[in-house]
Amino acid sequence: MTSSVDTVVQIEEDHSDKPTVLLVMPFLAIGGAERVALDMVRELHHEIRFIIVTFENYDPSLGTTVEAFRELTPYVYTAPDFLLSHLNYSLPLWFTVYLLQPL
């Protein structure tokens, strides 16, 4: 059984005036790109609503920063955790369309 992305992703309404940044990464391992992104989110999360989306399967040998990101924003979505693999790449596109809808 397959599901469309909008039936499995629940977005909490955020009525703040914060701008939104969609951060799309293949995965959230422990590496240089993830550290830079985590430092950026840590510095700016009071001013900006970050939505973080990953679409690759997690490799335990690389470690993870998922929980570190979740401490800063509730909007961390790792597609392989709740979508069938053929839908993983549709998640970033779905968020882009969702965020561009008029209020």
The residue type at 88: N
- Containing 53, the helix (H) or strand (E) segment is strand 49-54
Please report the pLDDT score of residue 9 as a whole number: 59
Total-model pTM = 0.73
* pLDDT single digits (tens) 25-44: 888 999 999 999 999 999 99
Low-confidence ranges of the chain (pLDDT < 50): 1-2
Please report the pLDDT score of residue 1 as a whole number: 45
Domains of the chain, by residue range, sit at 18-100
